[in-house]
Structures are given as C-alpha cells and as structure tokens.
Amino acid sequence: MQTDLNGTPKEISTDNDSIVIRKILVDIPGGKTLDVTGFTPTDVIKAGHIIIEETATGECKPLNVSSGAYVSLPSQHTYKGVLISTVLKSKPMAAIMLSGDVNEAASPYPVPQGAKDALTHILFTKD
C-alpha cells in the first residue's frame, strides 16, 4: 500500500495518544501504510486502534468498527498490533506497536478478547 504525502493540511487532536499508549517496547521499524479500504467509522484513526494483517498479502489494516465496537476478525486475517499515534484515514501512515503497554480504559473501543489473546506481548491495562 502507498500513500500520498501531498494534500491540504488538517489538524487532528493527539491529546490522548500518550494516555492510551503507555509504553512502547517494540514497533514495526519505519511503520506501515494502512489499507483503509472499507474502513467506515471515521476519518480519524485514533491511537490504541487494533491493527490486523491480511495473511495472503501482508497488508495491515485497522480492524473495522460497527455500532461502537470492533467487528469480528475477518477470515484470512491475523491480529498484528496496536496503532501508536492518531492518523488521518486520508494519510494512513501508521506506527504499529508489537510489544508494550496499552491503557485499555482510554482506548477508542473495547479491545476484543481475541486480540488480547493473540497480542501476547502487549499488556492491556485499565488505568
């Protein structure tokens, strides 16, 4: 996936990023451009959002949301990590945490148990 660095600047709030992401131990070096095809909840993807990976292509995507909760993990996908900092859907250049601490109480949506079970190097706390 590629993204365009050009465009009109848009201000987004990252005030809660350091509250949600408590400690980063390991991330994906250089980050990833997220495939946001079909991602409908909002134009902003907040820090703490669960990131998944399509097994066939290796594309990273934000787990979709419906009615204020994450949807089930789609087939042919695995849980990859957690978004470190808030990004625009129009510029989905993402830093993805693979190991560290997440304050689930401040996360944008309740974290599914499947994600907690799969992301064994991430500690989800409720502070």
For the stretch 38-82, pLDDT in tens is: 998 889 999 999 999 999 999 999 999 999 999 999 999 999 999
Main-chain dihedrals φ then ψ at residue 98, nearest 5 degrees: -105, -25
| pLDDT confidence band for 14 (50 / 70 / 90) | confident
> How much is the average pLDDT of 22-27?
96
Asked if the model's pLDDT at residue 6 lies above 70, the reply is: no
**All structural domains of the chain:** 17-125 (2.40.300)
| The two structure tokens encoding residue 111 | 């974290």
What is the 3-class SS of the chain, one letter each residue?
Answer: CCCCCCCCCCCCCCCCHHHHEEEEEEECCCCEECCCCCCCCCCEECCCCEEEEECCCCCEEECCEECCEECCCCCCEEEEEEECCCEECCECEECEEEEEEEEHHHCCCCCCHHHHHHCCCEEEECC
Question: What pLDDT shows up at residue 127?
Answer: 77
